[in-house]
Amino acid sequence: MVEIPFDIIGFDLDGTLLDTSGDLAAAVNHAITAIGRPAYPPDAIRPFVGKGARVMLERALAASGECTPALLDDRLPVLLDYYQQNLAIHSIPYPGCVAMLDALAARGLKLAICTNKAERFAIPLMEQIGLSDRFATIIGGDTVGIAKPDPAPIHEMIARAGGGRTAFLGDTINDIAGARNAGIASIAVTFGFLDGPVEDLEADAVIHHFDDLVPMLEGWPA
């Protein structure tokens, strides 16, 4: 068996491990249709995701009409309250995700999550999906008081997972820049919530399916 030269594999959550677009769209639609804005299909939400709920809602409001600070402040609690009650209605792991997690765990690697989603959403979501026990730690966007692309939450993820050489997977510039800022290897996934060409992320490597991850890690320079 070819050795994988890492101790920890870290993951972003939305758009990386899980396709959460259906539940995010439902929460956005709940917040905006009440003020007469049109509902979005899940695919239309994808470009709005990646920089937190406030930015997601701001983008959705702006795309459907005017977005003022007052309107954003009014609608955001509505979105968050609805989302907290409906975290895992439509959200599912991406194809190959569970088998990939099993394969990495069987090789003795620690698995961890660092997401910009707040802990009050991220941890219950993973519990409801049934995957939380596979991860040594789940770091949210509010765990250390600052979110990616700042390296602090990724450093905390590594520390809580026991330390060691780490690679981090994500689908947005916050993920890849966060890994770069933390001084660790970065891998971009193309099946998530990309808002531009994957090449623009300048990740160390790119995968198109989770089936590709273990072979790629096996070939990583020691």
pLDDT for 135 beyond 90: yes
Residues 29-51: pLDDT tens digits?
999 999 999 999 988 988 888 77
When the pLDDT of each residue in the chain is averaged and rounded to a whole number, the result is 96
Q: What is the pTM of this model?
A: 0.94
Question: Residues 6 or more apart from 193 whose CB is under 8 A from it?
Answer: 14, 15, 21, 46, 47, 49, 50, 171, 172
Burial of 209 (0-12, 13-18, 19+ CB in 10 A): middle
Q: Work out the average pLDDT over 135-153.
A: 97
Amino acid letter, residue 154: I
Compute the distance between CA of residue 82 and CA of residue 72 in angstroms, rounded to an integer.
Answer: 15
Catalytic residue among 7, 12, 102, 133: 12
pLDDT for 155 beyond 90: yes
- For residues 206 and 198, the answer to whether their CB atoms sit within 8 Å is yes
Percent of the chain scored above 70 by pLDDT?
Answer: 100
Tell me if residue 129 falls in helix, strand or coil: helix
Give the pLDDT score at 45: 85
Q: Would you place residue 73 in the very low, low, confident or very high pLDDT band (cuts 50, 70, 90)?
A: very high
Compute the distance between CA of residue 14 and CA of residue 9 in angstroms, rounded to an integer.
Answer: 16
Give the pLDDT score at 213: 98
Q: Would you place residue 1 in the very low, low, confident or very high pLDDT band (cuts 50, 70, 90)?
A: confident
Give the pLDDT score at 46: 85
Amino acid letter, residue 99: A
Question: Residues 6 or more apart from 201 whose CB is under 8 A from it?
Answer: 172, 173, 176, 186, 188
Helices (H), the chain: 21-33, 42-45, 53-64, 69-85, 97-106, 119-129, 152-160, 173-182, 213-218
Amino acid letter, residue 54: R
Residues 103-131: pLDDT tens digits?
999 999 999 999 999 999 999 999 999 99
Q: Judge whether 200 counts as a catalytic residue.
A: no
